[in-house]
Structure 1
């Protein structure tokens, strides 16, 4: 008894006949995907060609299959994400195995159909059975490819998370020095004016010496979150140790100073106590220096030097203040 076909099993064959394409495994795959998943890359590419009633030509069909094949996809993905950590590389290998398995299934189907083509043309085989087997193998290959795509999505998410972690300061969650340098380079490339501010926690060494590094870390986190809140939508990073950087794509130095003074005032209005003993810690404050950069990379270097000098002037003039270059 011949295998029973799904109700829409003949539709891909009708599609091929309508467009005068040979009923090869590759063309059948194209037709099946285009009809069953019109939102897929293959489905959209086919739809663009036949939207105005045009027939799809064999060379166009070949191009679509080649452009959206598994080999092209995974090759492009690997090139885009060349620097993977060891555990992510392992996942890539797993995905490659899935893709290879799906490709093997498609290749096996093509070989089987080729072997039976002669028999079919001589009337010695049941065409319904062959098409049914084609459908079954295609669905199996599609399932493997779907699994591979799901793993690719997971891998991309993990890559993005790893990339974000690599650019974040572990203690504060702010941008780290690597991210800061990249952001400054991007602004320099655009050549647009930017205000750069360097801020340093006042008397931080005495905090560490008196209360220990655990309390010192909490103070760093507190100042970091206060600066981030006051400078909403601006770039805030940890420059190093107890020092922070704020970058605003603007030439308005006064606006940056205003935001930094808001952060200073917030700290001044807060009564800090030790968690363990409830002992008052006194004022937590910071000093800052602000400078304007206009131009390329050298402008960043100059502005950072100017901001650093302004910061130390603020320290010399009594701390807990913001000065511009």
Structure 2
């Protein structure tokens, strides 16, 4: 039996302790990768923070974990979203039954009217009473049916909105990680070549640490808006944290590099100031890596890795640049 390497476990726990992180499965996993697989995307993201002398925070660990698909490791899902959708489906079924009941009542009215027809003809004294009762039953059934259909319509709209929300990044309004993966899978299935560009805001952690997360959120929205303005109609999403993605249905990597360069120059033209003091924040920039995917779903994963490696080279060569894979 191979010897168990407790030393790595001890070092991992020491890393968590030094950064004041609880030893949860997620934190332990990321700490282990940071220490023993530092060249991986997760390892580089953590090292970029700690190499600058900062203590990594829990929210940063959560962001890195989410950005690199960490939820898939534990099979996590958006429980709240799932519960909401299940509740809406239940309500739709319930209201459908109500609509069916209202329709049954309308049918019962027709049958009862037929049965009462002979009495109405032979006993005119009761005619008005019978007709009045039938009209009242019809109106009640119609009212229940109308109300049921109104509520069904509202719930369908709410379900559609919830479905859209599940694929939309709340802060920037861009497509989120889930929507990005769906889009890439659809292109792969259709056999469409696609140029994938990953871009990451330069020194974003220092923005958050110096000015606070509210300013950081404004920077994220500014970069998202710039990418939208320049890169539409191509697909644009927030890959996670301060990282964005642009997907072009093309096989022209050079065109992808030029497009991201145009967005980068447009961002550099914008003057970003603090609202409270009107103090200029200086240059807001991003670095990017661009790669070509041609083939099925496996090509997506390989190309994302290539784009990430090109992005890392852009960072290491001085930031604020776009490089092809």
Bucket of the pairwise TM-score, normalised by the shorter protein: 0.5 to 0.7
CA distance, structure 2, for counterparts of residue 279 and residue 201 of structure 1: 20
Matched, 1:180 2:164: no
Residue 98 of structure 1 contacts residue 147 of structure 1 at CA under 8 Å; is this kept in 2? no
Written as runs of structure 1 = structure 2, the 5 A alignment for 1:252-291 is 252-291=252-291
Distance in 1 (alpha carbons) for counterparts of 2:303 and 2:88: 39
Matched, 1:199 2:202: no
- C-alpha displacement at 1:290, in angstroms? 0.6
Q: What SS does the aligned partner of 1:85 have?
A: helix
- 1:241 and 2:249 aligned: no
* Post-superposition CA distance 1:175-234 (Å, at most 9, x none): 111111111111111111111100011111222222222222221111111111111111
- Count of matched residue pairs: 242
Q: 1:95 and 1:310 mapped to 2: Cα distance?
A: 54
Report which stretch shifted further, 94-103 or 188-197: 94-103
Structure 2 CA distance for aligned equivalents of residues 202 and 319 of structure 1:
7
Q: Which residue of 1 aligns with 2:217?
A: 217
- Residue 226 (structure 1) aligns with: 226
Gap runs ≥5 in structure 2: 1-81
- Please list, as runs of the form range in 1=range in 2, the aligned pairs for 1:16-35 lying within 5 A after superposition: none
TM-score (norm 1): 0.65
Instruction: Report the equivalent of 2:154.
Output: 154
Change (3 A) 1:109 1:83: farther
Asked if the contact 1:195–1:251 (Cα under 8 Å) also holds between the matched residues in 2, the reply is yes
Structure with the greater alpha carbon radius of gyration: 1
Q: Aligned partners of 2:83 and 2:271: how far apart in 1?
A: 47
TM superposition score normalised by structure 2: 0.65
Shift of 1:258: 2.2
Q: Runs of 5+ in structure 1 lacking a partner? A: 1-81
